[in-house]
């Protein structure tokens, strides 16, 4: 508690802070910080706690507090989740909705995703799909046990991202309820994306 805080968010210009400071944050039992001090999470994982939901709740609370005191003050809100960084922790009902969706394997999945990106105009229609990295095995050459494991990994990841998208949506809906969505710039930024930590099989601990 006697350590300096000048590199913490409040020392970098933020007026309020709620979240986590370290990477690889446990989504059910995070090391939480409020402003310049560590705090306990508001409820346990057994009681239904999840970090992303908590962060969205707190962001909405911060905006409510601001508007109750300064109705016209502009705000900068940096909403930073732990998803989809490891560890991939998500309530089962979110990952279960993807059960079986990726059983076709990553080769076919990436082709379908890439085509959908073309159809949506995310990438130009003449874009070519990059080749599969040499160190990633062809899906059809994998043993059945590995196929089941990797399919489940993809299901959990997809559920994790969908769960995060839902709570980002809650925050955006609240800004719209305030009547400020048309006067708000939303910028989406990303971390490093897929990572080779743990080698081609991933860190399983």
What confidence tier does 133 reach under pLDDT thresholds 50, 70, 90?
Answer: confident
Tens of pLDDT, residue by residue over 29-74, are: 999 999 999 999 999 999 999 999 999 999 999 999 999 999 999 9
What confidence tier does 192 reach under pLDDT thresholds 50, 70, 90?
Answer: low
List of domains in the chain: 9-102+136-201 (3.40.720.10)
Closest to 19 in 3D by CA, of 45, 37, 46, 5: 37
Grouping H, G, I as helix, E, B as strand and the rest as coil, residue 132 is: coil
pLDDT of 193 reads: 63
pLDDT of 194 reads: 65
Q: Contact 36/14 with Cβ under 8 angstroms? A: no
What gap in Å lies between CA 186 and CA 76, rounded to an integer?
A: 10
pLDDT of 190 reads: 83
DSSP secondary structure letter of residue 80: -
| 74-83 as b/e: b if 16+ CB within 10 A | eeeeebebbb
**Sheet strand arrangement including 32-34:** 18-20, 32-34, 37-39
Both structure tokens of 39: 């705090």
Question: Between residues 60 and 202, which one has the greater pLDDT?
Answer: 60
What gap in Å lies between CA 35 and CA 25, rounded to an integer?
A: 18
pLDDT of 143 over the 70 cut: yes
23-27, 58-62, 132-136, 188-192: least confident range: 188-192
Q: Contact 61/35 with Cβ under 8 angstroms? A: no
What confidence tier does 195 reach under pLDDT thresholds 50, 70, 90?
Answer: low
pLDDT above 90 as % of the chain: 85
Tens of pLDDT, residue by residue over 6-33, are: 999 999 999 999 999 988 899 999 999 9
pLDDT (mean) for 71-89:
93
pLDDT (mean) for 165-190:
96
Q: Read out DSSP for 28-59? A: SS--EEETTEEE--SS-GGGT--HHHHHHHHH
């Amino acid at each position: 508690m006697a350590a300096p805080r000048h590199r913490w968010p409040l020392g970098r210009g933020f007026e309020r802070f709620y979240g986590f400071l370290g990477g690889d944050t446990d989504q059910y039992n995070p090391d939480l910080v409020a402003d310049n001090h560590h705090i306990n999470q508001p409820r346990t994982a057994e009681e239904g706690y999840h970090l992303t939901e908590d962060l969205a709740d707190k962001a909405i609370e911060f905006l409510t507090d601001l508007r109750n005191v300064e109705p016209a003050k502009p705000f900068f809100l940096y909403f930073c989740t732990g998803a989809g960084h490891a560890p991939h922790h998500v309530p089962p009902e979110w990952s279960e909705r993807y059960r079986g969706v990726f059983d076709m394997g990553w080769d076919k999945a990436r082709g379908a995703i890439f085509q959908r990106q073309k159809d949506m105009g995310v990438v130009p229609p003449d874009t070519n799909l990059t080749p599969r990295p040499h160190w990633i095995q062809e899906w059809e050459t994998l043993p059945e046990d590995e196929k089941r494991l990797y399919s489940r990994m993809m299901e959990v990841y997809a559920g994790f991202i969908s769960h995060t998208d839902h709570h980002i949506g809650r925050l955006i809906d609240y800004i719209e309820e305030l009547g400020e969505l048309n006067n708000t710039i939303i910028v989406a930024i990303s971390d490093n994306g897929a990572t080779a930590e743990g080698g081609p099989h991933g860190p399983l601990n």
